[in-house]
Amino acid sequence: MGKKKLNRKKLNPQNPIFTGIKYTDDFKMQLFSYTQSELNENNNFYEKDYNGFKDDSKQYWLNTHAIHDVAQIYSICKKTGVHDLVIQDILDVNQRPKFQQYEDYIFFSIKSLLPTETIEIEAEQLSFILGKNFLISFQERKADHFEHVRHRLRENIGILRERTTDYLLFLLLESILDNYFKTIDSIEDKVESFALIDINEDPSPELLNTIEVYKRQLHFIKKTIIPIRDFATKIEREQHKLIQQKHIKYFFEIKDICLTLLDNCDKIEARLESNINLFFSIQGHRMNQVMKTLTVVSTIFIPLTFLAGIYGMNFTNIPELSWKWGYFGFWLIILVIFILMLFYFRRKKWF
């Protein structure tokens, strides 16, 4: 089943629609509740187990896989007080990343990219609900984006269990942006494989199509990175009660990562533009060579055709026609003209 186009005019907010591809992954939720000294992990968390994130001394991370199960997503979101419009934004995987602040929580969505063995890239939407002491993450399908974060929680590595869930959000965003580096590096490696084109070789038109595919991919990547950068900039400039002051510096790092990714995209785009220009330069050079050859040949044959035309006329009184050496003299004149013109063109460096 392909992706659906969402018609918001006909949409009932209480009956949200999943617009992505329904994968074979089963809907699953995983709940971490932790303090600096304690961790509880429930890998088979169900909606009926939810009784609110009431213990203010704990931090909660609820992660969901396979959001195509609309009923489950809608139910758990309503229980946590998420607005109907946000629920639809979670299920609408075709939209650009967005950031919205509500009274008791922050909603943020992002695209995660992964390189493939083919020329295409895989994109997956992830959404986050950040509350006072909880973070809910929604993954379009099951993936291992956050396994190292889970490992930190389980082994109490670093400062993660000492901090609130806004720091956890930073780690998850950083993990996703790491996939952007992998994707961009993959594109750069493929671009470098045809970056140097020998002018003596004949570049195929398929090369130009490949370059256009990469340019579209880079445009899509930049379009998904810019909202993340804007989100980090907004955190930097404005006070958010759910983002602690001591954690703002980590979102500065998110902005710097985004700027680095955008710079890398611009660098690859410049290289692709250079390849396109080189492609057309090679084609133009070859066309000029062909036109130069045709021009030389045509110019040489113009006076020869003129002489042949004169002596091909059906007039009786053409004295040269009755000369004994007239035929050989005609060819001698043609040969002399041919040699002189070749000598002239050679000195002009036309060939």
Strand bridging mode 106-115 / 28-34: unpaired
Per-residue confidence (pLDDT) for residue 166, from 0 to 100 = 92
C-alpha torsion sign, points 54, 52, 104, 145:
positive
User: What are the start and end residues of each CATH 3.30.460.20 domain in the chain?
Assistant: 28-282
What homologous superfamily does CATH list for 28-282? CorA soluble domain-like (3.30.460.20)
Residue 138 — pLDDT band, cuts 50, 70, 90? very high
In terms of Cβ atoms closer than 10 Å to its own Cβ (0-12, 13-18, 19+), residue 43 is: exposed
Other Cβ atoms within 10 Å of 271 Cβ, number: 16
Q: What backbone torsions phi and psi does residue 8 show, to the nearest 5 degrees?
A: -70, -20
Taking the CA atoms of the chain, what radius of gyration do you get in angstroms?
A: 35
DSSP string for residues in 109-171: EEEEEEE-SSS-EEEEEEEEEE-SSEEEEEESS---TTHHHHHHHHHT-TTGGGS-HHHHHHH
With a cut of 60, say whether residue 225 has pLDDT above it: yes
Q: What backbone torsions phi and psi does residue 58 show, to the nearest 5 degrees?
A: -110, 160
Average pLDDT of the residues in 126-142: 90
Nearest 5°: CA angle at 63, between 99 and 250? 50
Query: Contact at 8 Å (CB) between 272 and 215?
Result: yes
- Tokens 């869930």: give the residue: 165
Q: Which of 110, 102, 40, 111 is nearest to 77 (CA)?
A: 102
Per-residue confidence (pLDDT) for residue 1, from 0 to 100 = 41
Determine the residue type at 242.
L
Residue 144 — pLDDT band, cuts 50, 70, 90? confident
Query: Contact at 8 Å (CB) between 73 and 91?
Result: yes
With a cut of 60, say whether residue 10 has pLDDT above it: no
pLDDT digits (tens, 9 = 90+) for 263-310: 999 999 998 888 788 777 877 877 888 888 888 888 888 888 888 888
Task: Name the helix (H) or strand (E) containing 72.
Answer: helix 70-79
Average pLDDT of the residues in 239-252: 86
Q: Which of 192, 223, 191 is nearest to 210 (CA)?
A: 191
The CATH number, out of the four listed (1.20.1440.230, 1.20.58.340, 1.10.20.60, 3.20.20.370), of the domain defined by the range 288-347:
1.20.58.340
Query: Contact at 8 Å (CB) between 224 and 111?
Result: yes
pLDDT digits (tens, 9 = 90+) for 99-122: 888 888 999 998 888 767 777 788
- Tokens 């710079």: give the residue: 263
pLDDT digits (tens, 9 = 90+) for 47-85: 888 888 888 889 999 999 888 888 888 888 988 889 888
